[in-house]
Amino acid sequence: MSSAVKLAVAGVGNNISALYQGVSYYRQMCASGRTEEASYGIRKTVIGDINVFDVEFVAAYDVSQTKVDKPFTEAVLAAPNNYPILDVDLAQYSFKVEHGFTSHTADSDLAMAHVVKSLRDSGAEVLLYSLPTGLQWAAELYAKAALMAGVAFVNCTPESIARMPELLAQFEGAGIPCVGDDLASHLGASIVHRSLLQLFGERGITLDSSYQLNFGGNEDFRNLRDHGASKGESKINALRQEGLDTSKVHIIPSAGYVSHLNDNKIAMINVEGLGWAGRPVSIDLKLKVQDSSNAAGVIIDLIRIAALAKRQKLGGFPLAAASCLKSPAVGHERYSKAQLEESFDRLCYGANVAAAQ
């Protein structure tokens, strides 16, 4: 039987609320014998020997006044978070949210020493970075803190961490996993858009133009109005595939912040092409999802992959995580789907062997 992944989080926003509540949901459904509900929305119930509910939160960092110095179980539900409160018995934790890095402490050795010590004292195996988009400096600081503390790092934002060769080499040399960058949502606009573009190519339809517009009402969308550049780049990365001219694709990560949508996201996707004799072919699609559930359904796989890689002392970027990311360290065109699936199975198989011995 696996021991739970001890998880620290940087940023206590909607994605963490969805993850925290979801882990409690699956634990309760499984314990009560509600097997059908216990499998809703899960790609892999068990990865290696780690079940979807085998997660223990041990530390958290933020800078919001509504969260710092508050018990984690209170802060994760506090405004401006607007993920729905699930009707389940939520796991209770006694630790409080600690003050994380700020732009004023970015060069402070004291601040770095505090976070590193906190991570070590918590016993964290994995640090999940989930701060708002656009804070490259913060992502680098938390990555370095994880490296110094000997903790696996998962970057679910568009900031470049695993794509920084020197930093990734340090993780590899230390035998510590570095998973990133930018999670590819469970069934998000990027994977749907990518599939439509791939379908056009497979059917011999010449791509003329395409766009993707995203609307939402959570803090991520409010932030993206001013800090959408890295998100736009990452979304384009997620679409890259052989034969696709990405110059014909236009993406607006936050076409509008609509407060009454709360944690719901709406994506409008259009693909225009030319068929036989140059005649037009057009697809217009509307996708509506619970934004943070869409993220948590992939985060749960990323942290389990990171934990397995750490337990097997596999440093650097684990190839098994590539399909869960928009901008993986290895890109999307270097490895085939079969190769990625093989690497995933190898990681899980290795973990099972280690557990059996």
Q: What angle do CA 207, 233, 291 make, to 5 degrees?
A: 95
The rounded distance, in Å, linking the Cα atoms of 268 and 255 is 10
Helix (H) or strand (E) holding 256: strand 249-257
Same-domain pairing of 172 and 223: no
Q: Which residue has the tokens 């994605």?
A: 15
Other CB atoms within 10 A of residue 274 CB:
14
At residue 220, the pLDDT reads 84
- Residue-wise pLDDT for 127-181, tens only, equals 999 999 889 999 999 999 999 999 999 999 999 999 999 999 999 999 999 999 9
Looking at the chain, the whole-number percentage of residues with pLDDT higher than 70 is 97
Mean pLDDT across the chain, nearest whole number?
92
CATH for 38:
3.40.50.720
> 228: pLDDT confidence band, cut at 50, 70 and 90?
low
Domain final residue, candidates 290, 309, 339: 290
Same-domain pairing of 204 and 268: yes
Range of the domain at 229: 189-290
Same-domain pairing of 248 and 229: yes
Looking at the structure of the chain, the number of domains it has is 2
Same-domain pairing of 22 and 126: yes
Same-domain pairing of 69 and 203: no
At residue 226, the pLDDT reads 74
Question: How would DSSP label each residue in 298-349?
Answer: HHHHHHHHHHHHHHTT--B--GGGGGGBSS-TT-SSSS-HHHHHHHHHHHHH
Same-domain pairing of 286 and 298: no
Other CB atoms within 10 A of residue 335 CB:
17
Same-domain pairing of 134 and 254: no
Burial degree of 57 (CB within 10 A; 0-12, 13-18, 19+): buried
Q: Which residue has the tokens 């259009």?
A: 270
At residue 355, the pLDDT reads 43
Tokens of 354: 């280690």
Mean pLDDT on 193-214: 96
The rounded distance, in Å, linking the Cα atoms of 155 and 328 is 10
Same-domain pairing of 241 and 92: no
Question: For 96, phi and psi rounded to 5 degrees?
Answer: -105, 155
At residue 105, the pLDDT reads 83
Mean pLDDT on 221-234: 77
CATH for 266:
3.30.360.10
Same-domain pairing of 138 and 43: yes
> 242: pLDDT confidence band, cut at 50, 70 and 90?
confident
For the chain, the straight-line distance linking the first and the last C-alpha, in angstroms and rounded, comes to 12
Domain final residue, candidates 290, 311, 333: 290
> 230: pLDDT confidence band, cut at 50, 70 and 90?
confident
- Residue-wise pLDDT for 289-305, tens only, equals 999 999 999 999 999 99
The rounded distance, in Å, linking the Cα atoms of 175 and 309 is 9
Same-domain pairing of 91 and 223: no
Mean pLDDT on 324-353: 81
Which of 165, 130, 133 shows the shortest CA–CA distance to 234?
133
Distances (CA, A) of 320 to 1, 51, 139, 188, 350: 22, 17, 22, 20, 12
Write the single-letter amino acid at 69.
D
The rounded distance, in Å, linking the Cα atoms of 257 and 157 is 19
At residue 179, the pLDDT reads 98
> 106: pLDDT confidence band, cut at 50, 70 and 90?
confident
At residue 353, the pLDDT reads 40
pLDDT: which is higher, 143 or 239: 143
Q: Is the pLDDT of residue 351 over 70?
A: no
Three-state secondary-structure class, residue 218: coil
The rounded distance, in Å, linking the Cα atoms of 97 and 105 is 17
Distances (CA, A) of 135 to 54, 81, 101, 225: 30, 19, 11, 14
Burial degree of 63 (CB within 10 A; 0-12, 13-18, 19+): middle
Strand partners, 60: 9
Mean pLDDT on 305-326: 96
Strand partners, 252: 213
Looking at the chain, the whole-number percentage of residues with pLDDT higher than 90 is 78
| Least confident window among 137-146, 256-265, 307-316 | 256-265
Half-sphere exposure (Cβ direction) of 230: Cα atoms closer than 13 Å: 18
pLDDT: which is higher, 287 or 227: 287
Which of 175, 173, 172, 142 shows the shortest CA–CA distance to 157?
142
- Residue-wise pLDDT for 52-90, tens only, equals 999 999 999 999 999 999 999 999 999 999 999 999 999
Q: Is the pLDDT of residue 340 over 50?
A: yes
Domain final residue, candidates 245, 270, 290: 290
